[in-house]
Structure formats: C-alpha cells, structure tokens
Chains A and B, each alone.
Chain A
Amino acid sequence: MSAPRNPSTNPSTDPGADPGTDREAHANDATAGHQIFAATAREGASLRRQQAIRGLFLLTTLLLVLPVLAILGKLAIEGGPALTWEFFTEEPRNGMKDGGIFPALIGTIWLTAGALGVAVPLGVAAAIYLSEYASDNWLTRTINLAIVNLAGVPSIVHALFGVGAFVHFMAFGTSILAASCTLAVMTLPVVIVSTRESLQAVPRAFREACWSLGATRWQTIWRVVLPNSGSGILTGVILVVSRAVGETAPIMFTGAAFFVPFLPQSVFDQTMALSLHLYNVSTQVNLDDQHKHLPFAVALTLILVVLAMNALAIWFRMKLRGRKKW
C-alpha cells in the first residue's frame, strides 16, 4: 500500500490518463511482500471458535457411546463367565437360582414368531394399500395419523389393551397367542412405516414402464414393486423381531409366566420369556453372592440376541442392496 503513486494517474485530476499505470501500482503492492490473502485477526478468532465448537460436538458424541460401552462391558464381565452350554440348555432349578434359561429362550422364540406371523402380513398389506392404492383423502390421512399415534402408545398401555382385547374379549386366555397378538399390535407401525417407505423408494419409472405395457395395479405390485423393495421390508421385519424379543410389559399380563415347568406345546399355552425372566431374577428372587451373576447373564443373552438380529438386518440389507442397480 505504501508504493509511491504517480500523481498523473489520479483520475480526478487527469481522467484521460493511461489506466495501465494504475494496474502496475497494484502489481507492485503484491510483489512488495504483502500477502493479500493472509487471514485477518478477526478471522483467526472465528477459526478458534470453530475448532472449539467442533470439539464440543465430538465430546457429546463420545458421551453417547459411553453408556453403550459401559453396559456391554459390565454385562460381559459379570455375566460372560456364566454363559455355558448348560446355561442355555437347562431349566431353572432351586427357585430360579440354579440351572439355565432354556424354557425362556424357547418361549421368546414362540412369542416372537407369533408376533411376526400376525404383524407382517397385516402390516405389509396395509403398507401396500397406503402406498399403492390409497388416494390422498381424509380417510388416508386419518389412517396415517393413527399409525403414528399407535407407534407412540406406551408399551404398558398396549399390555392392558392386550389383556382386554385378546385375553378376555377374544377369549384367548393368558397364552402365547394373546401375548403374540399384543406384541404384533405394538410393532405394526414399524412394519407399516418401513414397508411403505421401501415401496415408495421403487422408482416411478418402473411403475410407468409397467402401466404403459397394460399391467394392472396388482401386476405392477407383484412383478415389479415387491421384488424391488424386499430388502427394505425385510429390514423392517427384523427390527420388529428385535423389538419383540426385548419387550416385557406387553407379555407379562397376556401370556408370559414366572415359571412354567414344561415347554409350550401350542399357542394356547403360557410360556416363560427371556425379558420377563430377566425382570424376575433381578427383582423377585433373593440372590446370594454365589448367584449374583445370574441377572447379568440373562441380560447379556438378551442383548446378544437383539444385536444378532440387528446384525442380520444389516447384512440382509447390504446383500440385497448390492443386487440393485438403478
């Protein structure tokens, strides 16, 4: 900036002067050692603030991971050594304190399979209707609102609904059937929403191609839309499984019991379940020091089952995604 200016280039005194001289003067400024792109003091401050904020968000994120690690770590340390073959294959003995969790494992499988058997057909059908057939009118909007609200109902309310609707009104009694239906009602919104989303992710161009060839709506759905949304639907289904495996409240009034001396023979039997078993051994059983690991072992099993299910969902998704090409 301090380069001497040629007085003759001042436009106010000499409008007709050669503009080239002026440009030369600026060129001299840059070459004279002034870095014109250097950060100003103000910028430096905002850069430091930037870094501080970034650090803060990073810290928050790490804090989120902490409980997960703590839970898994504690469970693995306390419960891990108890996970033996006998633990998975034997019945509980001695007032739940000894033996294994075999009936509870089997019961959870029954309950989950039952819930899937009810929720998946209903949910997929509803999602197909909402995505492919329904026009945007008050009825559809009401249904969508109902689905969102259903997802927000606390599980204990679902449990009481299940007692009223399935145990008493439908006269299923306290049974696997009643408990599965209750779980199904609770997980329906997940199935519907995830299915609807994966149906809608199928490109419109595919549908147009079908329509222009004279396909009916159902032919379009069956031959093109469903085969191309399988991965999404499946992921939703598996998420339902992991939810159903973990829920306690909806099953404790409708079909799961503290202790059942035999394995379920039909859907009208009561059963034990992992989640309820965990609740029982943690709160209802007096454990001495020798048996302190028991709740941890059950909890670890439960978490492992859920994690395995989620891993399966991710794996399926990746496998089926890889096949897609559009």
Chain B
Amino acid sequence: MADDLSLQGRTTILSLPKNRTPAIEVEDLNLWYGKFQALHEVDLVIKSGIVTALIGPSGCGKSTLLRSCNRINERLGYVTTTGSIKVLGHDIYGDDASQIQVRRNVGMVFQRPNPLPLSIRDNVLFGHRLHAERRANRSDEDAMVEQALREVLLWDRVKDRLQHKATGLSLEEQQKLCIARLLPTKPTVLLMDEPCSALDPEATSAVEDLIWDLRGHYSILIVTHNMAQARRASDECVFMLMGRVVEHTATERMFVSPQKQETSDYIEGRFG
C-alpha cells in the first residue's frame, strides 16, 4: 500500500492526495445504437483511486457508459458517439489515441468470468504477451505471474497448478484470474461489468473484498444491479436513469439522504 493511503477497513475513507487528475472525465457524451439514443449528455468525473459504483435499473445505460470508457463498444459497427471521455486527462476518442493503448490502460472485467481456454499461467501473461516487443524470459514471466496472482489473492491457491487449464477453476477463482490477467499490462482504471452477478454469495463477498483491496492502486468503476453491493463496496455512487446521470455523490450520502426523488424511489425499491 502506498504511503499516501490509509486503509483500515471498509468504513475508512481513503486519504488520497488532493488535486489528483481524475481517473475518468466524461463530457457531454451522447451515444446511439443505430437510431436509439442510449446515453444523453452524460457529464461525469470519476475520481482517481477509489471505487465508484454505477447503479440504475436495467437498460439505463450504465453498461453502455462503462463500455464506452475502453472503446469496446466500437466493435459493434452501428454505434455513434459524440462528446469526449478523458482518462487521466487524455482524450481516448481523440485522433491521436490508439484503441489498443486505451484498452491496455483501461482493463475490463465481464459479467461472466471469461478465462481463455489456456493454462492459468498463460491467461495471466496473455495481455502482456500481446503488447511486449519480444517475449520476456521465463523468470521475468514467473515473477509477473506471481505478482499478479498475489495481488488478486489467488497465488496460494493456484501456485502448484499454474499449468492447469484456467477453465477448470471455480467461478470465483476464474473471476479473480480475469482481474489478475489485466494487471501485467499495468492499467490505471479497471472497469467491472457486474463482476459478481454469476457468483454465489460467498464468492461474491470474496471478490468484493478483492475489489476493496485493489482500491488505491487502481481506479475502479463497477456496474452493479445489487444495491447492497453498491452500498458495501463503493466510495461513490452514480445513479443513472434513461441514459442520463441523475445523481453522483458519496455512497453513504446517496443511501442515507439522496437528493433527487428518482434516486430515493429507486433505492427504496419503488421501481427498477
């Protein structure tokens, strides 16, 4: 843990240095799937080094917003975007921005764990090998694997079977591996699209603990359907509705004294 952080438990607020560049700045973002407008004039500043949760009912655009942040939406040919998204102050949709470097810096974890059908070791090294000029030597690779797996609290469980297929792991381990896989390319932002929705309660809690552990090292943006999870495992909360951001405050504040009527209606379960 870096010196400028003090982290003792979930209730603690991270004390991060002031005036850090925001992790993500979204300005006037509009997005269309064909003719359907999924995001309307989204303005949002995601602070660096904390966990921010995106909540809202199905179809409100939270996953779309998340997927815009590493340009993975572009694989769908019919998406049009206006406005800008800056990561660490740099426009990721700018002419000089490469999609590949954006994705390398902004890692993504999906709803269903999606390890590749390779060994655990090869999964962890996959991203790094894509970008390395030439293959690192074996001991460097070993060190990288160990460090990544230690960071996701998986090392002790899998260190003796690094050559086994990753698809044979439990779902919880698979999801942790998917997070570990992002780390060797040294990302700054981690996007997570309902990372626990395929997991049982125990595994969910383990992955949440891990997310909380990674806080401070990475800026984390997490989409969740699970209100309790947002409350437990985020510093700030963004509530979205019909493609717009309705409210963005500290998590505690949002759940205790929401400012907007729609927010309190949603949080109290009156719709969604």
Q: Which residues of A contact B (CB under 8 A)?
A: 135-136, 203, 205-206, 208-216, 219, 223-224, 228, 324-326
Contacts and interface: CB of A to CB of B under 8 A. Distances in A.
Contact of B117 (A213, A214, A219, A324): A324
Given A211-B75, A213-B181, 6 more contacts: A211-B72, A212-B110, A214-B185, A216-B100, A223-B130, A325-B117
Interface string B90-111: 0000000001111110011010
B178 A209 contact: yes
Nearest to B122: A223
Contacts of A135: 77
A208 B117 contact: no
26 contacts: A136-B77, A205-B110, A205-B114, A206-B117, A208-B72, A209-B114, A209-B115, A209-B181, A210-B126, A211-B72, A212-B70, A212-B72, A213-B103, A213-B104, A213-B126, A213-B181, A214-B100, A214-B102, A214-B127, A214-B131, A214-B185, A215-B130, A224-B116, A228-B117, A325-B168, A326-B167
B182 interface: yes
Interface residues of B, number: 29
A214 B115 contact: no
Given A206-B117, A228-B117, A325 B110 contact: no
B72 A209 contact: no
B244 interface: no
B102 to A, nearest CB: 8
A128 to B, nearest CB: 16
Contacts of B130: 213-215, 219, 223
A197 to B, nearest CB: 19
Interface string B177-196: 01001100100000000000
A213 B102 CA distance: 10
Contacts of B101: 214
Contacts of A215: 100, 130
Contacts of A210: 116, 126
Contacts of A214: 99-104, 127, 130-131, 185
Interface string B127-152: 10011000000000000000000000
Contact of A206 (B72, B114, B131): B114
B86 interface: no
B165 A325 contact: yes
B225 interface: no
A219 B117 CA distance: 15
A211 B167 CA distance: 19
Nearest to B129: A223
A206 B104 CA distance: 17
Contacts of B178: 209
A326 B75 contact: no
Q: Which 5 A-B pairs have the closest CB atoms?
A: A214-B103, A205-B114, A213-B127, A212-B108, A214-B104
B112 interface: yes
Contacts of A228: 117
A266 B252 CA distance: 80
Nearest to B77: A135
A203 B114 CA distance: 10
A213 B114 contact: no
Contacts of A224: 116
Nearest to B115: A209
A216 B129 CA distance: 12
A325 to B, nearest CB: 5
Contacts of A209: 110, 114-116, 178, 181
Contacts of B185: 213-214
Interface string B158-170: 0000000101100
Contacts of B116: 206, 209-210, 224
Nearest to A136: B77
B103 A212 contact: yes
Contacts of B112: 205
Contacts of A203: 114
A296 B117 CA distance: 49
A60 B103 CA distance: 58
Contacts of B104: 213-214
Interface string B45-66: 0000000000000000000000
Contact of A208 (B107, B110, B127): B110
A286 B256 CA distance: 100
Contacts of A216: 100
B167 A325 contact: yes
Nearest to B75: A211
A291 B115 CA distance: 64
B145 to A, nearest CB: 15
A228 B117 CA distance: 8
A2 B42 CA distance: 75
A155 to B, nearest CB: 38
Contacts of B77: 135-136
A219 to B, nearest CB: 6
A208 B182 CA distance: 13
A28 B3 CA distance: 83
A224 B126 CA distance: 10
Nearest to B127: A213
Counting chain B CB atoms within 10 Å of each CB, which of A205, A213, A215, A223 scores highest? A213
A219 B131 CA distance: 10
A208 B178 CA distance: 12
Contacts of B99: 214
A152 B80 CA distance: 40
